[in-house]
Amino acid sequence: MAEHATPLGAGTQAPDFTLHSTPDQTLSLHELKGQRVVLVFYPADWSPVCGDELALYNEVLPEIRKHHANVLGLSVDGAWCHAAFAKSRNLHFPLLADFEPKGDVAKQYGVYRHGDGVSERALFVLDEDGIIRWSYVSPLGVNPGADGVLDALEAMDRVGASEQTPSNAGVHA
């Protein structure tokens, strides 16, 4: 049975990382400072379902961008695997290879499944300062959808508009 860590929650500074986005390019989280970021951790490329999680995020990308947020997909697959997968699914956002040391970033975010050797299906919404504002780990085998992410981004828009400290930014009822 897989061992479960505790995922980082709202209010936590998101750990920085540098990972390959293509076989010859890397991307660091701090490069995106000043922008909102949605981190989509998923177990593996080539999930055999139609309309899988990444395909869904790909379709919803215009809505997410309306809230000034970028989407990054992360799994333990290597950069060449990601490249082939992204091409086949026509993905319009980067897939990062949490490949060496394997699952290191997933471990830092508390979403690595020891024993299974893959990350959970986990979502983190980061604000412009790299603070986690919302996070969610989906039950095994259940694609979480994109509603929680959009709700979190909308809540951030409202807080930004009223300049109040959110007491429940991390809770989606």
Partner 1 sequence: MSTRGPGRLRPPVSDRDHAQGPRDAPVTLVEYGDYECPYCARAHPIVKDLQRRLGRSMCFVFRNFPLTEMHPYAFHAAEAAESVGAHAGESAFWRMHDLMYEHQQDSERSLDDEHLVWYAKQAGADARRVAEDLLDDAFADRVKEDFLSGVRSGVNGTPTFFINGERYDGPWYDVGAFEEVLREAAAGGRVLR
Catalytically active residues, by annotation? 50
What x-and-dash track marks residues 27-66 binding partner 1 by CB under 8 A?
----------------------xxxxx-xx-xxx--x---
| Cβ proximity of 111 and 122 under 8 Å | yes
Instruction: Give me the residues paired with residue 18 across strands.
Output: 28
Q: How far is the CB of 142 from partner 1 (least distance, A)?
A: 6
What x-and-dash track marks residues 132-151 binding partner 1 by CB under 8 A?
--xxxx----xxxxxxx-x-
Instruction: Give the containing element (helix H, strand E) for 132.
Output: strand 132-137
Considering only the stretches 25-33, 34-42, 86-94, 99-107, report the one whose residues sit in contact with partner 1 under the rule CB under 8 A.
86-94
DSSP string over 36-99: EEEEEE-S-S--SSTT-HHHHHHHHHHHHHHTTEEEEEEESS-HHHHHHHHHHHT--S-EEE-B
Considering only the stretches 25-33, 70-78, 95-103, 129-137, report the one whose residues sit in contact with partner 1 under the rule CB under 8 A.
129-137
Q: How many residues does the chain have?
A: 173
**Which residues in this chain contact partner 1 in the complex, by CB under 8 A?**
6-10, 49-53, 55-56, 58-60, 63, 89-92, 134-137, 142-148, 150, 170-173
